[in-house]
Structure 1
Amino acid sequence: MDLRDYLRVLRRNWILVVAITLIGLLTGGAASVLAKPTYTADTQLFVAIQSSGSVLELQQGNTFSTARVQSYVKTVGSPAVLQPAIDDLGLEMTAEELASRVKASSEINTVLIDIAVVDQSPVQAAAIAQAVANSLVRAVDSLERPKTGGSSPVGLSIIKPAKAPSAPSAPNTRMNLLAGLAIGLAMGIAAAILRSTLDNRIRNESDLRRVTDAPLLGGISFDQEASKNPLLTQSAPQSPRSESFRQLRTNLQFANVSGHARSVLITSSLPGEGKSTTATNLSIAMAQAGLSVCLVDADLRRPMVNEYLGLDRNAGLTTALLGTSDVNDLLQPWGDDNLFVLTSGQIPPNPSELLGSEEMKHLITRLEQAFDAVIIDAPPLLPVTDSAVLSQHVGGVVVVAGSQKLRYQDLEKALAALAMVGSNVLGVVLNRIPAKGPDSYAYSYYSHEDTHVKNSGSSSTTGQKTRRRSTEGGAVTPSGVRPPTLFPGERIGGRR
């Protein structure tokens, strides 16, 4: 992962990062509130050589005292210094317990010793600090005194008496809050990276590239209104969703630059990834570009195309495969463009056998001869084998992957099923991609007037979804569209 990947992970999981950071901040504040306040009293001593000789002797004495200061600092924590202080104050503690509250230090190249004592009482902290300082003076005088008699060559003087502090030294609320903030932020970032590492859902193109090198034909931006108005004609002409399908149409033409894949099968790995809406809107986009398009609903288990387009499915694909009616009589025109729909027909008990039959292969061949493009909506790959069987009869396959929903292993299994039967995979379409955020794919370039058109688009296209239908000879023809003499079906297989 490079820097951009980490930034994308943080943007994707910013709520988690902020939440854990706030928890760390609250923990630091709670620690400050619940902790008992402690006070620190300090005192300072000066180490001097008891000499009044020449300058050279004074210099030698200063060097001597500097070297001995660190030894005196270590001596402060010994029972020889602390026990007399305990006895003087009548404290009910051992020298080891008192040593944990006393801290002695000295800066380098100085003869000053600092003693700090921590206690829950400010008065007692000052008293202990003063008692320890007095005890250190006596202990050094005793330790440095010559055995032959005489006075000690080293003398310690208290130059800063201990005073009771007016404010507690701990807890440090500001420091605790900063520490909680820093720790929470670090844990939040770590949790976001861990979550992203363990998350095996496909969200964007970089996730898709971990599974397959198949071309990304396009990304369909997520629209909350798509569930109510799924058709391309129900959106504003220049909305991100409309532009996504036009981009998919263009990229599909480049993926099929040789022109051999006149029939394209649209499928997905699992149900609910948006393959039917993608197939339907792709057909509409191609028809709007001036192509003659035939949309075939080959999902013989859960057909949806007829519901989206408001057509009758009592007679359709299964009717043609069983030989009850000719496909010329079953094609239904839709909209003002050259789009014809072959609905699923009655749901059969053996969908896989019908879709893999020679009749289906012959039907696709006839449709390819009559139309510029044949778009086939097929069932998902993993639950059933219909799409894998049918993919052998078409020119190419497009796999729809539901962003934020599909997992790596599911897409791998679906592509492996297509590869096993030798299907020509033209590419992958990422569906339900967020229009904004780290995983966005679509770009917006329309004005506020277009937004108004989008809001009124559903009412202007309602008539396309609920056209009046009349049935004659097994064919369903929307009234007011165009004369039946313009049907490409007149040319299918040279039959009338």
Structure 2
Amino acid sequence: MDISDYLSVLRRRWYLLPSLVALGVLIALAISMMTPPKYTSEAQLLVRVQAVAGATASELQVGASFSRQSVITYAPIATSSLVLDRVIQDLSLTTTVSDLAAAVDVFAPPATALLTVRVSNENAGLAQKIAASTAKHLGDAIVDELENPLGAAAGPVLVETVNEASMPKAPVSPNLKLLLSLGLLFGLAGGVLMAFARAAQDKRIYTARDLKAVTLAPILGPTPWVQELAEGQTVDGLNKEVQDAAHSILRMLPALSQGNTSRTYAIAGSNFGAGGSTVTSLMALGLANSGSSVVVVDADSENTSISKRLGIQDATAWADLLRDSAQFPPSFRAVKGEIRVISAATPVGVASRFDTPPFRSLLKLLGDEFDYVLVDSPPVAGSVDAVILSRLAGGTILVIASGSTTKDDLAVAAEALNDFGGSILAIVPTKVSRQGIKSREYSARFSAMRTMAAPGENESSLVTIAKGRSN
């Protein structure tokens, strides 16, 4: 996968990102509201050796070094009963030494003779009082008991308060900004991971890369989403975006005509709802508008809507054409730029009539008479007719619905066609997003198809067909 594939996954499942980000932020807010506020107050002491009158510089340096080394051993004294018992008595606290020790932290900054007393409590005022009292009693314990056990008038070590414990102005926890940032970060990461996890489990086809994982058949199109036609609406009235997509299909059609002199194509969806009949109608209109004679054989018994889609009132029954002879009546002759429709669908519950000599004769006569014969076939899934028509027409242009047809659907359709003498000439993806239509990968497949076109048709014929709808 390259960067475009990753972006495509995120674009298709974009809704997961804001959803999980919102969830992460809500969880952060909930944690913030449920966590009791905690305040911190600090006091700082300076430990130094009392200078003797007339001391040399080296003696003073030794005293300073002694002070820096001593504060490391003094720090644990702050959380001992020697100090905290006096703090409890001083402030009349209803707690134990061990519980109070958990709220007191004393440490010595590196390479200094300082002792920092930090106290955390849910009450800001009490945090300040405990910090001040702990600093006072720690200093007294160092001066009077640890460094002057004999009670001399003046011990060798002095402890001075450098910074008095101050009243905390704001709680140090919960840190709302930090929690919201983490909620945003983890929500975004969770959304991205979920998007890729769901993409890994999603077997639906979205891109040309998904198609190539199943079949190497060339791609025609793709076409964007085509909604259900309104009453009285035909495909000729669809928006320009859809019509332009049809031109792209037709532009590559000459490449499929090599070896197919009759230019007869079966067009079928891989499954129901893929848009096979719509693609057939768009191709018929585009070819007719380019000046070709076109006949559409409506062979889909489940969806006989070709006439309606093309705006043609009545379709000719195929049995009527061959009732008396193997020649078409004058009224059904090919006319450049016009479309004829033949109703050939097998009624539901009746055995297929396609794999019979009369129908094979019909296709041959149509191929001799018209420039293009388009057979609107039923979906391949669960349909014997689709396989028969593929074999008779020399192959099928298979229509799949992007975001709906799965790789398994496509694999089953391809296997059914190949096992019974049919084949996939090309694939037309429908319901493709605008980004998918413009994607670099689809463009590459179009270029590959363009180089396959027959000599002499690369420029004139293809351009004529592509411009047919706009003339």
TM over 0.5: yes
Partner of 2:463: none
> 1:490 is matched with which residue?
none
1:242 aligns with 243
* Residue 345 to residue 72, structure 1, CA distance change in 2 (3 Å): same
Identity of matched residues, %: 29
Whether the 8 Å contact between 1:283 and 1:375 is mirrored in structure 2 is yes
1:100 partnered with 2:99 = no
Secondary structure of the corresponding residue to residue 88 of structure 1: helix
Within 2, Cα distance between the matches of 1:328 and 1:198? 53
Does the 8 Å CA contact 1:29/1:177 hold for their aligned counterparts? yes
Question: 2:271: which partner in 1?
Answer: 270
Distance change >3 Å, CA 296–CA 406, structure 1 → 2: same
1:192 equivalent to 2:200? Answer no
Give secondary structure in 2 for the equivalent of 1:427.
Answer: strand
Q: Cα RMSD between the aligned structures?
A: 3.2
Distance 1:261 1:110 in 2: 96
Return the offset for 1:45.
Answer: 1.2
Aligned-pair distance for 1:247? Answer: 1.1
Give the aligned partner of residue 24 of structure 2.
Answer: 24
Aligned to 2:209: 206
Establish whether residue 70 from structure 1 lines up as the match of residue 72 from structure 2: yes
Amino acid at match of 1:130: A
Q: Does 1:340 align with 2:351?
A: no
Q: Does the Cα contact within 8 Å between 2:37 and 2:172 map onto a contact in 1?
A: yes
- Map of 1:173 onto structure 2: 176
Contact between 1:261 and 1:395, CA under 8 Å: does it hold in 2? no
Counterparts of 1:104 and 1:93, CA distance in 2: 19
Spell out the pairing of 1:15-164 with structure 2 (5 A cutoff).
Answer: 15-52=15-52, 53-141=55-143, 144-145=146-147, 153-164=156-167
Shift in Å at residue 384 of structure 1?
2.0
Partner Cα separation in structure 2 for residue 401 and residue 51 of structure 1: 93
Deviation at 1:427, TM superposition (A): 1.2
Does structure 2 conserve the Cα–Cα contact (< 8 Å) formed by 1:314 and 1:346? no
* Cα shift readout 1:245-293 (whole Å, capped 9, x = no counterpart): 1110111212334444621111112111110011111112112222222
1:412 shift after superposition: 1.6
Contact 2:293 2:334 in 1 (8 A): no
SS in 2 for 1:399: strand
Q: Which amino acid aligns with 2:119?
A: V
In structure 2, what residue type is equivalent to 1:267? A
Residue pair 2:260, 2:394 contacting (<8 A) in 1 also: no
What is aligned with 1:393?
Answer: 392
1:296 offset after TM fit, Å? 0.5
Residue in 2 aligned with 1:284?
285
- Judged with a 3 Å threshold, the aligned counterparts in structure 2 of structure 1 residues 259 and 326 are, in CA distance, closer, same or farther, namely closer
Tell me the CA shift for residue 17 of structure 1. 0.9
- The Cα of 1:142 is off from its aligned counterpart by 6.8
Kindly state the Cα deviation for residue 224 of structure 1 after the two structures are TM-superposed. 4.5
Instruction: Tell me, yes or no, if the aligned pair for 2:288 and 2:336 is still in contact at 8 Å.
Output: no
Work out the CA distance in 2 between the residues paired with 1:229 and 1:77.
89
| Distance verdict in 2 for CA 1:6–1:346, change over 3 Å | closer
**Contact preservation (8 Å) 1:32, 1:172:** yes
User: Match of 2:225?
Assistant: 222
Instruction: Please report how far the alpha carbon of residue 108 of structure 1 lies from its aligned counterpart in structure 2 after TM superposition.
Output: 2.0
Quote how far apart the aligned CAs of 1:415 are.
1.4
Residue 349 of structure 2 corresponds to: 349
Distance 1:327 1:297, change over 3 A: farther
**Gaps (5+ residues) in structure 2?**
441-471
What corresponds to 2:371 in structure 1? 372
Partner amino acid, structure 1, of 2:213: R
Q: Deviations over 1:445-467 (max 9, x none)?
A: xxxxxxxxxxxxxxxxxxxxxxx
Name the SS for the 2:220 alignment partner. Answer: strand
Q: What is the letter of the counterpart of residue 97 of structure 1?
A: D
Letter in structure 2 aligned against 1:102: V
TM-score with structure 1 setting the length: 0.78
Whether the aligned pair in 2 keeps the contact of 1:287 and 1:338 (CA below 8 Å) is: yes
2: distance between equivalents of 1:416 and 1:424? 9
Aligned residues: 437
Instruction: Tell me how far apart the structure 2 counterparts of residues 344 and 433 of structure 1 sit (CA, whole Å).
Output: 30
Query: Following TM superposition, by how much is the alpha carbon of 1:392 offset from its aligned partner in structure 2, in angstroms?
Result: 1.2
Please tell me the residue identity of whatever aligns with 1:43.
A
- TM-score computed with the length of structure 2 as normaliser: 0.82
Q: Partner letter of residue 358 of structure 2?
A: E
Name the CA shift for 1:193/1:75 in 2 (closer, same or farther; >3 Å).
Answer: farther
> Per the alignment, in what secondary structure is the counterpart of residue 163 of structure 1?
coil
The structural deviation recorded for 1:230 is 6.2
The amino acid that maps onto 1:164 is M
The equivalent residue for 1:458 is none
Please give the per-residue CA displacement for 1:416-437, whole angstroms capped at 9, x wherever unaligned. 21222243322111111223xx
- The separation in 2 between residues aligned to 1:265 and 1:34, in whole angstroms, is 66
Kindly tell me: are residues 147 and 32 of structure 1, through their superposed partners in 2, closer, same or farther at Cα, counting changes over 3 Å? closer
* Alignment correspondent of 2:461: none
Amino acid at match of 2:310: L
Q: Deviations over 1:378-416 (max 9, x none)?
A: 111112222112211112211101112112211121112
Counterparts of 1:327 and 1:29 in 2: how far apart (Å)?
81
Residue type matched to 1:29 in 2?
A: L
